[in-house]
Amino acid sequence: MRPFGTTWSTSEFWFWFSVMFGTFPSTLFHVAVQVKDTAVLTCSGTCNGILTWTFKTENEDLDVLKCVQETCTEGDSFKDRVNLVHARNQPGNLSLTIDSVLYNDEGWYVVRCDSVFLCRFRLEAFVPTTINTTVRGKAKLPCYARTEKQISDETVNILWKKDDQVVLQVLNGIIKYGPRFTDRASVSLKDYKDGELSLTIHNASRSDAGLYQCYHKPSEEHGHPGAVTLHVAALEISWTKKFGENLPLDLFSSDVTISFIGSDESEKQVCTVMGNSTKCSSDYINRVSVINNTLVLSGLTSADKGIFTVKDKIGEVIAVHTVIVEVADYRYFHVCLLVVACLILSCIGLFLYKFHQTSPVIDDHNLGESTVNMDDLRQPAYIRVSEQETSPQVSQCEVRPHTPVEETLIEPEMSIKNLNNTEEEDSIGQIDTGMSDLPKLSVTECPD
């Protein structure tokens, strides 16, 4: 502030009088910009005299830019940072651009043609706090101020702006909403008494991104921080689906487009939804349905593995769906089948082994010691006869009854199992002796 007793110039007096009481003949514009960004102070008109842009605060009155015809001179504090837009072949445009805005560039900017006021601006420079959220998410934008602890709700004053447009205003206890923020933005009157003016935004959309400013009191005094930058990122969802299942895609709004990027990394359009109208490509027309603002893609296959992107009508990405489709792998089935078969065969082999171990075994050791063939002993004795005795003339002889040879055979009595090698030889000798003791067959010759 200028100290009392200091002499004011006539121009300074009328400037601050106009600022205090709003008597500028032209409209006052508020421009908010982040530090290091570019500010554009838009003023339309013509000037055939000396065009002057000046910067004013409570303590300073500096030249920003002075132009005589086509020649412009920059002020010392704005060297290489300001220029006039009309120099870019835009007649009637007297707008000023300030590059790489500094924090102390905040203040009043006035443009005159000779001594005539044309435009005035209030530039606000911020170092904003950044808040991040996603589509359909919730964001709380912080703001604090020195408020009265015992203030009544009827005297509360809060103002939130975005791009110089009202988001929410509490004036004398009555809440008003800006376009698109009805029932989505809120502040707490109770928290206001604790010095908190924070704004909560529900169901965020991509269009909510931007710079927000907080004010309180009727004089629109800044809260702290003076500005908040809201970033709204696309919603990212990962899906793992089985072959043949359905995929629901939230449309978020009535006018969207859905595209797909598969293994070939080329983007192709799936559908365009405009209100109640849905247009899909030939690959999807028979697989898509829209139910309750949700697009349902049915019968997923391995070809649907990739990224589905949902964009709004201005091309902003709203949601990104990464999809994995699980397809049955029959190799594992074959491996399992082989393992089961091996287990079954192992069980059968074990069963046979146990059965063999528990079954009785015939002891044939002693049977192998005897070489006597009892069947041979039971055969009738062989008696040799002469050739004459075997003559066919025998049939002419008178046959006399004799004892059969078989009845004269003595059957040896012996235990085969108890014979050893020596006993076998003795038994054979006895058999030969027994054969010699047998009665001889009597044969009578026929008379000639």
With 0.75 as the threshold, say if the pTM is over it.
Answer: no
Q: Are residues 266 and 321 in the same domain?
A: yes
What confidence score (pLDDT) does residue 330 get? Answer: 57
In this prediction, residues 22-36 reach a mean pLDDT of: 70
Structural domain ending residue among the three candidates 202, 233, 264 = 233
Which of 233, 255, 290 is the endpoint of a domain? 233
Domain match, 166 and 260 both: no
Q: Are 23 and 92 part of one and the same domain?
A: yes
- Residue found under tokens 């702006």: 161
- Give the CATH number for residue 243: 2.60.40.10
Q: Are residues 154 and 203 in the same domain?
A: yes
Please tell me the number of Cα atoms within 13 Å of 393 on its side-chain side. Answer: 9
Whether 160 is covered by a domain: the verdict is: yes
Q: Which pLDDT score is estimated for 16?
A: 45
Per the structure, how many domains does the chain have?
3
Domain presence at residue 403: no
Q: Is residue 389 part of a domain?
A: no
Are residues 31 and 122 both part of a single domain? yes
- Same domain flag for 144 and 116: no
| C-alpha–C-alpha distance, residues 213 and 227, integer Å | 4
Q: How far apart are CA 247 and CA 287, in angstroms?
A: 10
pLDDT of 70 reads 80
Averaged over 211-228, what is the pLDDT? 86
- Residue where one domain finishes, among candidates 213, 233, 253: 233
CA–CA distance, 16 with 435 (Å, rounded to integer): 165
Provide the pLDDT for residue 153.
87
| Tens-digit pLDDT profile for residues 275-303 | 888 999 999 999 999 988 899 999 999 99
Query: Where in the sequence is the domain holding 109, given as residue range(s)?
Result: 10-126
In a domain, 426, yes or no: no
Q: Could you give phi then psi for residue 111, rounded to 5 degrees?
A: -115, 135
- Domain assignment present for residue 408? The answer is no
Are both 304 and 283 inside the same structural domain?
A: yes
Q: Where are the beta strands (DSSP E) in 204-328?
A: 210-216, 221-233, 235-242, 247-250, 255-261, 267-274, 277-280, 288-291, 294-297, 306-312, 317-326
SS3 of residue 331 by DSSP? helix
Establish if 83 belongs to a structural domain: yes
Q: 247 and 315: one domain?
A: yes
Residue 349 lies in a domain: no
pLDDT in tens, 388-441: 444 444 444 444 555 454 444 444 444 444 444 545 555 555 545 555 555 554
134 and 195 assigned to the same domain: yes
Q: Are residues 229 and 277 in the same domain?
A: no
CB 77 within 8 A of CB 61: no
- Sign of torsion over alpha carbons 388, 393, 399, 403: positive
User: Could you give the 3-state DSSP secondary structure of residue 381?
Assistant: coil
For the chain, the average pLDDT equals 79
Reply yes or no: is the peptide bond before residue 225 cis, omega within 30 of 0. Answer: yes
**Are residues 122 and 149 both part of a single domain?**
no
Q: Is residue 139 part of a domain?
A: yes
Query: Are residues 164 and 256 part of one domain?
Result: no
